[in-house]
């Protein structure tokens, strides 16, 4: 039975103010093996100063959170809250590969006009893993811009992925431009993905779109590689990796991007080798 940790961490609160030089603030959350944090940790980012149009002064805040949960039943919930007094830009790049059951609840609420939101997520489900993303974007003010790209690969017959994406454009959010796209790649016959994109529009002067696609690798793409002397196995590896690379390359830090690329390639390579050995042993 895991240890339940309540009053020690449940009131943990970090506040980050703007730094004129854009120096990053870092919060580290560490959960030992077998420890379950009873209540979520609330991280609050407060921007008290913003830049004005035509001004040479541009305060920037780059808060970062490192979450380390050891193997053996560790569990923690984290809530991130961003607050400011001016127009804002929020960008998220997420790559999820670990955990038997991974669940991310992402809720963004627009608190003022002229906001920009970009969400890019890539989930890789290997073995019997379940990757689950529930997102909710709510716009209540004019001239919001948002783009959401969610991509997922399920590479095992018992693996599954879930995407429940909600975008709500309320009455006063006129001239909103919101787009949502989810694409899933199933590499095994019994692999499962449940996709539920949802777009609710009450305003009448908007430009909104959403789409969903679920498929295996296209034969025409594989044929293109083979016609140029590339064998089938290498072609499949290249196409599978490039499917997620569209999200990975959006990571703003080159050293993190390179580390993630190597990690994903290693996971996909081990999966393909396992499939080859299983096919050959029959």
Residue tagged 């002067």 (tokens): 205
Query: What length does the chain have?
Result: 282
d(CA 103, CA 89): 25
Over range 259-279, report the average pLDDT. Answer: 71
d(CA 62, CA 15): 12
**Confidence (pLDDT) at 22:** 41
**Confidence (pLDDT) at 107:** 92
Residue 90 pLDDT greater than 50, yes or no: yes
Over range 26-42, report the average pLDDT. Answer: 85
Is-contact 144 176, C-beta < 8 A?
Answer: yes
Which of 88-102, 137-151, 259-273 is least confident?
A: 259-273
- Give the tens place of pLDDT for each residue, 117-171: 999 999 999 888 999 999 999 999 999 999 999 999 998 889 999 999 999 999 9
Is-contact 251 257, C-beta < 8 A?
Answer: yes
Over range 240-259, report the average pLDDT. Answer: 89
**In the structure, what pLDDT confidence band is assigned to residue 9 with cuts at 50, 70 and 90?**
very low
**In the structure, what pLDDT confidence band is assigned to residue 53 with cuts at 50, 70 and 90?**
low
Domain segments of the chain as ranges: 26-46+61-217
**In the structure, what pLDDT confidence band is assigned to residue 44 with cuts at 50, 70 and 90?**
confident
Is-contact 180 197, C-beta < 8 A?
Answer: yes
**Confidence (pLDDT) at 57:** 62
**In the structure, what pLDDT confidence band is assigned to residue 172 with cuts at 50, 70 and 90?**
very high
Highest-scoring range by mean pLDDT, 58-72, 97-111, 192-206: 192-206
Highest-scoring range by mean pLDDT, 63-67, 122-126, 219-223, 230-234: 122-126
d(CA 35, CA 31): 6
Q: Residue 110's CB: how many other CB atoms inside 10 A? A: 23
Higher pLDDT, 73 or 58: 73
Burial class (CB in 10 A: 0-12, 13-18, 19+), 131: buried
Regarding pTM above 0.85, the answer is: no
Distances 277 to 118, 131, 134, 271 between C-alpha atoms, Å: 41, 26, 36, 10
């Amino acid at each position: 039975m895991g240890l339940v940790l309540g009053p020690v961490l449940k009131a943990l609160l970090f506040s980050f103010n703007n730094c004129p030089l854009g120096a990053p603030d870092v919060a580290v959350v560490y959960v030992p093996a077998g420890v379950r944090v009873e209540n979520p940790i609330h991280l609050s980012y407060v921007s008290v100063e913003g830049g004005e149009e035509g001004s040479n002064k541009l305060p920037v805040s780059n808060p970062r959170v490192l979450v380390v949960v050891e193997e053996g039943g560790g569990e923690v919930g984290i809530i991130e809250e961003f607050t400011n007094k001016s127009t804002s830009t929020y960008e998220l790049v997420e790559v999820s590969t670990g955990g038997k059951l991974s669940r991310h609840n992402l809720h963004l609420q627009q608190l003022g006009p002229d906001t920009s939101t970009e969400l890019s997520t890539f989930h890789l489900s290997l073995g019997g893993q379940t990757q689950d993303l529930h997102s909710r974007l709510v716009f209540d003010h004019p001239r919001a811009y948002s783009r959401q790209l969610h991509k997922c690969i399920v590479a095992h017959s018992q693996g599954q992925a879930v995407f429940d994406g909600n975008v709500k454009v309320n009455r006063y959010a006129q001239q909103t431009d919101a787009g949502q796209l989810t694409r899933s790649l199933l590499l095994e016959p019994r692999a499962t993905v449940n996709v539920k994109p949802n777009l609710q529009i009450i305003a009448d002067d908007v430009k909104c779109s959403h789409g969903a696609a679920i498929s295996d690798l296209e034969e025409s793409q594989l044929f293109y590689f083979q016609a140029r002397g590339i064998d089938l196995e290498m072609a499949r590896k290249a196409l599978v990796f490039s499917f997620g690379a569209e999200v990975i390359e959006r990571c703003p830090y080159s050293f993190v991007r390179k580390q993630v690329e190597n990690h994903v390639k290693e996971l996909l390579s081990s999966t393909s080798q396992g499939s080859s050995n299983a096919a050959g042993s029959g």
